A and B are shown apart, each in its own frame.
Chain A
Amino acid sequence: MGFSRLAGGLLLLFLAFALLYPLFRILLLGVGEGFARALENPYYWERYRWSLEYGLLSALLTLALALPLAFAFRRRFPLREALLALSTLPFVLPTPVVALGFLALLGPRGLLGVDLYGTKALLLLAAVFYNLGLALRLLLPVALGLEGPLRAARVLGATPLRAFLRVGLPLLLPALGAAGLLVFLYTFSAFGVPLLLGGARYATLEVEVYTLLAYRLAFPEASALMLLQLLTLALAVFLYLRLRAYPLVPGELLPARWPLGLSLGLGLLFLLLYAPLLALFLQARPEAFASAWASADFTPLALALANSLRFTALALLLALPLGVAYGVVARRSGLWDLLGLFPLMVSPVAVGLGYLVAYPGLRGSLGLLLTAYALLAYPLLARALLPALRSLPPSLLQAARVLGATPWRAFLRVELPLVLPALQSGLALALAALLGEFGASLVLWRPEWTTLTLAIHERLGRPGEAPFREAVALASLLALLSGLLFYLLDRGRGRWG
């Protein structure tokens, strides 16, 4: 069909320019001299080891907390829906917001007066904060479907423990694996949080690559480390794709013995979990907004805000046709499915680095930045769209064609309206991700393009109380903005993840 071939061609062209060629250049640079130099240095191995440790520990901790939570959410209790909606909130928060939240609570100038800055504990807490909602979303449907099999096991004479171990756990394993791998993917290649919270000791590979580039212009070493990271991520994605879930019939919600106690307990837990966010808003002072607005030393608030909104809007304009094209091509082909996941695997810093290497003549042009933004945004959009497209009965399309519609018209008038809600959800997710974009923006930075995230980073780089206050103010603004825009677009549907 010509229509889907056109979409495929467009997408391939974009991927070749925005991803494959830059990656190829990194590969070339990395496998040469850089790889040898990087691999003989134990320091880089230590960075790699720490990135692995960070990813694995975060995954384990998150799962350890998410599993009991998932079981708690099988029950019916007041405010269940509200708490569930709240659990996904961190996922749409930009990384600098989360980092600043933890600094506002547990940093050198934190509310609690305990300084955990530059410790492993703080980094792990931030990772759990970030990923708990995601893990919960993945585990909950399976936990809900467990009731039937568990009851069957009990009827056949198994003790509750035995039923859980022999029936429940095996059924849960694929979801546990998927959630664990996703958390690993996100934290292993984390950038914003370790950059702002970790100091030099807990720099991940991603942070190290940025440092190598910004301060030493060491392209070969940076490329080599990027390559190492890519291979690891590819392995994790491969494992992720191999996981097959059991088809479970989703069960009803179970009654709770003490519904009020459950909502109270879980409410308290979430309050504790979101304390950094609360601390952020508590520490945001009006005078800091005023000084950030008229700042002479740093990018003024208005410019940063305008940049964030402008780039996000422009990049979404680019990402929208790409995401739709991807959905159209991928709904019938597994290979395309993989291609769509690929950009999610490549870190934003790597993308920025690749552009600098591959297109030296375009260095410092806005086109590159927007390309990077679009590349990072369209898979999010597409992943929300794909299930909706796949669930459309083919007879609808056939009917439209029989009635004389061209394929293009059939798509526009029949399919698109039907998947619009899913598209909107995807758009909301992409928007939140772009507002918080950090890595690629930092690598492809031009001063007049300083976004809110970069303006926060800029202020944190300077010692003293006043810049920190301004950073907190900007972060709370960014949190409100992305939260608000996300919920306006998504309306709490949450058709993703």
Chain B
Amino acid sequence: MWRILTLAAFLAFGFAQEITVLTHSSFSLDKGLIAQFERETGLRLRFLKGGDAGETLNRAILTKGAPIADVIYGFDNTFLSRALEADILLPYRSPEIQNLKATLLLDPTFRALPVDYGWVSLNYDRAYFKDRPLPQAPQDLARPEYARLLVVQNPATSSPGLAFLMATVARFGEDGYLDFWARLRDGGVRVAKGWSEAYYTHFTLYKGDRPLVVSYTTSPAAEVYYSEGKYKEPPTGNLFPELAFFQVEFIGILKGTKNPEGSRKVVDWFLSRPVQENLPTEMWMYPARRDARLPEVFRFAPEPLGSVRLDPKAMAQNRERWIEEWTKVVLQGQNPDQVRRGRR
């Protein structure tokens, strides 16, 4: 029986000098860049999309004994502690670290290296709000006339959803954020499973019925970039920099990789200038490298002033509880007071 199993296992795994990179499903890079890397190193790159950033990381954790990839890219600062605690990554002091913005180096053990950063932010449809008043302050969102215009992502299944939840915690505090969400719930906020469902199905710009959506500060610039000249100005805008949430995306080498040498090359490549200058218009994040030039279209994506940040330790300690409390209030319809009383 074990011979059959071994044989089958042998058949199931690839051979060759292939490096598998596990990414979230929004991953994309220029094909020419990838081909060039493959030519220069003799490695073959395979990109494996594991779903949302959190789901992708969980996949890596659930297959810890026999990793499904060599390198994982795309888990963010909200999940950093989970990745580090699960002990799935190998440390690597890449020579490129000296070129990265020092504030992004959130893991002193160098198991998770920053690749890019950005802000999760509220977007609005300019056409819809042309003759209608925009909400004036974050707490206005909870008023019924705005709550029913908003679509957010479920923080349990989506990393922008989690970032937005954390932004509300930072803005309204441990005591207030659940009340804010309870009012959003009563007002009729819609909860989508992930970003692409929220943006491409429910957002009015794509024929949905919600003109307010949780997305990224760079999304308006992306709309201009992809419109092939249709838009000179973004059709959408950012609202409330004070609700924007700072996100850093990391890369790491998975423990148990059969090719640590090649994996290190891949990490260096992600941090190299060509990739760093390509990723802004591919994944709409800001490059982690200090000397990477931003594309011209990023003038529509200014970095928000006064955005919120949470202490990484606080995020690590409270993430699960926030998600659980949010689920209880928004999806399960419980009373915020009752949920707060249940805290231990």
Kindly list chain B residues whose C-beta atoms are within 8 Å of the C-beta of A290: none
Q: Mark A74-118, 1 if CB is under 8 A from B, else 0.
A: 000000000000000000000000000000000000000000000
Partner of A216, one of B1, B67, B156: B156
Partner of B68, one of A297, A364, A370, A464: A364
Does any Cβ of A come within 8 Å of B19's Cβ?
no
Does any Cβ of B come within 8 Å of A360's Cβ?
yes
Find the A residue at minimum CB distance from B9: A366
B110 CB to nearest chain A CB (Å) = 24
Kindly list chain B residues whose C-beta atoms are within 8 Å of the C-beta of A366: 5, 8-9, 12
Stretch at the interface among B181-189, B274-282, B323-331: B323-331
Kindly list chain B residues whose C-beta atoms are within 8 Å of the C-beta of A461: 51, 193
Q: Are the CB atoms of A363 and B66 closer together than 8 Å?
A: yes
Bound Cα distance A218, B82 (Å): 12
Q: Are the CB atoms of B61 and A318 closer together than 8 Å?
A: no
- Residues of chain B in range 116-171 having any CB-CB distance to chain A below 8 Å: 156-157
Known: A363-B64, A445-B59. A42 touches B4 (CB 8 A): no
Find the A residue at minimum CB distance from B328: A43
Find the A residue at minimum CB distance from B333: A43
- Residues of chain B in range 35-85 having any CB-CB distance to chain A below 8 Å: 48-51, 54-55, 58-59, 61-68, 82
Does any Cβ of A come within 8 Å of B332's Cβ?
yes
Partner of B12, one of A41, A213, A363, A449: A449
Find the B residue at minimum CB distance from A317: B4
Does any Cβ of A come within 8 Å of B272's Cβ?
no
Q: Are the CB atoms of B67 and A215 closer together than 8 Å?
A: no
Q: Are the CB atoms of B323 and A216 closer together than 8 Å?
A: yes
Does any Cβ of A come within 8 Å of B109's Cβ?
no
Does any Cβ of A come within 8 Å of B174's Cβ?
no
Bound Cα distance A448, B66 (Å): 13
Q: Are the CB atoms of B334 and A217 closer together than 8 Å?
A: no
Q: Are the CB atoms of A42 and B332 closer together than 8 Å?
A: yes
Partner of A364, one of B58, B67, B196, B342: B67
Bound Cα distance A158, B328 (Å): 59
B321 CB to nearest chain A CB (Å) = 11
Bound Cα distance A420, B48 (Å): 44
Kindly list chain A residues whose C-beta atoms are within 8 Å of the C-beta of B332: 42-43, 46
Q: Are the CB atoms of B63 and A364 closer together than 8 Å?
A: yes
Kindly list chain A residues whose C-beta atoms are within 8 Å of the C-beta of B65: 359-365
Does any Cβ of A come within 8 Å of B175's Cβ?
no
A319 CB to nearest chain B CB (Å) = 11
Q: Are the CB atoms of A363 and B62 closer together than 8 Å?
A: yes
Q: How large is the interface on A (under 10, 10 to 19, 20 to 34, 35 or more residues)?
A: 35 or more
Bound Cα distance A211, B327 (Å): 13
Bound Cα distance A448, B59 (Å): 13
Bound Cα distance A211, B49 (Å): 19
Does any Cβ of A come within 8 Å of B307's Cβ?
no
Known: A317-B4, A370-B8. A41 touches B62 (CB 8 A): no
B61 CB to nearest chain A CB (Å) = 6
Partner of B9, one of A361, A367, A463: A367
- Looking at B5, B55, B59, the one whose CB has the most chain A CB atoms below 10 A away is B5
A/B pair count, beta carbons within 8 Å: 89
A237 CB to nearest chain B CB (Å) = 29
Kindly list chain A residues whose C-beta atoms are within 8 Å of the C-beta of B5: 366-367, 370
Q: Are the CB atoms of B196 and A363 closer together than 8 Å?
A: no
B250 CB to nearest chain A CB (Å) = 18
Chain B contact surface mostly: helix
Does any Cβ of B come within 8 Å of A447's Cβ?
yes
Find the A residue at minimum CB distance from B319: A216
Find the B residue at minimum CB distance from A443: B62
Q: Are the CB atoms of A215 and B342 closer together than 8 Å?
A: no
Kindly list chain A residues whose C-beta atoms are within 8 Å of the C-beta of B48: 447
Bound Cα distance A447, B342 (Å): 39
Does any Cβ of B come within 8 Å of A356's Cβ?
yes
Find the B residue at minimum CB distance from A307: B12
Partner of A360, one of B64, B157, B201: B64
Q: Are the CB atoms of A462 and B196 closer together than 8 Å?
A: yes
Known: A40-B342, A463-B197. A217 touches B64 (CB 8 A): no
Bound Cα distance A41, B321 (Å): 13
Find the B residue at minimum CB distance from A374: B1
Q: Are the CB atoms of B66 and A365 closer together than 8 Å?
A: yes
Bound Cα distance A165, B117 (Å): 74
Q: Are the CB atoms of B66 and A356 closer together than 8 Å?
A: no
Kindly list chain B residues whose C-beta atoms are within 8 Å of the C-beta of A215: 54-55, 58, 156-157
Q: Are the CB atoms of A217 and B8 closer together than 8 Å?
A: no
Known: A366-B9, A447-B50. A217 touches B61 (CB 8 A): yes
Known: A215-B54, A216-B320. A42 touches B334 (CB 8 A): yes
Bound Cα distance A211, B52 (Å): 13
Kindly list chain B residues whose C-beta atoms are within 8 Å of the C-beta of A462: 196
Bound Cα distance A310, B9 (Å): 12
Kindly list chain B residues whose C-beta atoms are within 8 Å of the C-beta of A448: 12-14, 68
Q: Are the CB atoms of B55 and A364 closer together than 8 Å?
A: no
Bound Cα distance A317, B51 (Å): 33
Does any Cβ of B come within 8 Å of A121's Cβ?
no
Kindly list chain A residues whose C-beta atoms are within 8 Å of the C-beta of B62: 213, 217, 356, 363-364, 443
Show 12 A/B contacts (Cβ-Cβ < 8 Å), sorted by A.
A41-B328, A43-B334, A215-B54, A216-B320, A218-B320, A297-B49, A310-B8, A310-B11, A314-B4, A367-B9, A461-B51, A464-B201
Known: A359-B65, A370-B5. 14 other contacts (CB 8 A): A40-B342, A42-B332, A43-B327, A214-B55, A215-B55, A310-B8, A317-B4, A318-B4, A360-B65, A370-B8, A443-B62, A446-B12, A447-B48, A461-B193
